Amino acid sequence: MFEIIHLPPVPQVRNIEQILWMGNYLSCIVNIEDLSLIYQIYILDFDSGKWSLYHTMRPIDFVAACDLEFTVGSVEFLLWINDQIILRVAAAFECIKNIYFGYNVKTRQLTKIEDIGMGNSEVWSHTNSLVLL
């Protein structure tokens, strides 16, 4: 049987965007302000049962990272591999559907992932590699 694990609440946040595994850690990415592109990443210490702030992502400029003019409709955090968080950004009200980015938590650099085409493709993790369907 499966055991249900109840996670402790993340301190002082309203909008939990995603919970991701980062190596041996469980991380929680939260949007700290409504309608902003500022996120904080918390790491769960399993021993103490408490979340601690790991990283703050400043306002993300997706347009500058890919040289395309579009309005961000939604941001979805997909995977965390080494120092890179893979994000899918959906454009609002435009012909561009999904654009994939990598955010490096060490350098704070955002780059468009050129090998994943824009459109309705999906990305998953598969044994230390990316799978594109």
How is 58-90 classified by DSSP, letter by letter? Answer: PPP-HHHHHT----EEEEEEEEEETTEEEEEEE
* Domain ranges (residues) in the chain: 1-59, 61-133
In this predicted structure, what is the pLDDT of residue 133? 40
pLDDT: which is higher, 38 or 2: 38
Q: For the ranges 2-11, 16-25, 80-89, which has the lowest average pLDDT?
A: 2-11
Amino acid present at 84: Q
Is the pTM here over 0.85, yes or no? no
Residues 111-133 have pLDDT tens digits of: 988 766 555 555 554 444 444 44
Q: Which two tokens stand for residue 91?
A: 């454009």
Q: Which two tokens stand for residue 75?
A: 């941001």
pLDDT: which is higher, 8 or 84: 84
CA distance 58 to 25: 22
pLDDT: which is higher, 100 or 70: 100
CA distance 69 to 46: 42
Residues 25-34 have pLDDT tens digits of: 888 888 877 6
